[in-house]
Amino acid sequence: MPATDQLETARLTLRPWTESDAPALFRWASDPEVGPRAGWEPHRSVEESAHIIRDVLAVPESYAVVVRGREPEDEPVGAVGLKFGAASELAHGSREAELGYWLARPLWGLGYMPEAGRALLGHAFGDLRLEAVWAGHYEGNAQSRRVMEKLGLAEQYVRESDGRTERVLRVTREEWSRGGARR
């Protein structure tokens, strides 16, 4: 699968993570309102954030979300990425992936995550030629569900995950090409 170094939208740059992003990651990922909504604990130190960058985020098709023109310049304020194969709990087969994302709380509700997601799904279905992209959100996380709906994902099933109810959604390449996302 061809990878890309960077994706651009009207307002965002999606770029690879680097270890120098650890202080910014810690700043946003230590917020107790962010990680638990996505199924992970708030970060406890810059060192932990550096470890997460090295072991989780610095992989192909995982991007730091940067708002262009925002100070400090080039600071990641979120993440968006695709997980493949054994790294995914939701995707089935080699032509599918799981979409994951999070965004710093001060930027919620400004349309950044649907914008980032549209860019990534365009890349997933166009460049990578995937057949389907899956995503899940925990019950009660209406904001995450709304992002998925804006991207054209539709609910497929409900499952119990880590003692919580998770709703699993999917969009296929055919649905995407028919305008399944409210672009």
Task: For residue 77, count other CB atoms closer than 10 A to its CB.
Answer: 21
Whether 1 has a pLDDT exceeding 50, the answer reads no
**Do 155 and 143 contact (CB within 8 A), yes or no?**
no
158 part of a folded domain: no
Across 49-57, average pLDDT? 96
| Number of domains making up the chain | 1
Q: How far is CA 178 from CA 130, 131, 164, 171, 173, in A?
A: 15, 14, 33, 11, 9
Q: What percent of the chain has pLDDT over 90?
A: 83
State the CATH number of the domain containing residue 69. Answer: 3.40.630.30
pLDDT tens-digit readout, 13-49: 999 999 999 999 999 999 999 999 888 999 999 999 9
CA distance linking residue 44 with residue 22, whole number of Å: 12
139 part of a folded domain: no
From the list 64, 63, 67, the residue with the least C-alpha distance to 12 is 67
Q: What is the pLDDT of residue 3?
A: 55
pLDDT bucket at 5, cuts 50 / 70 / 90: confident
Amino acid at 35: G
109 part of a folded domain: yes
From the list 67, 87, 81, the residue with the least C-alpha distance to 124 is 81
pTM score over 0.75: yes
166 part of a folded domain: no
97 part of a folded domain: yes
177 part of a folded domain: no
Q: What percent of the chain has pLDDT over 70?
A: 96
170 part of a folded domain: no
pLDDT bucket at 81, cuts 50 / 70 / 90: very high
Give the phi and the psi of residue 70 in degrees, each rounded to 5: -95, 140
178 part of a folded domain: no
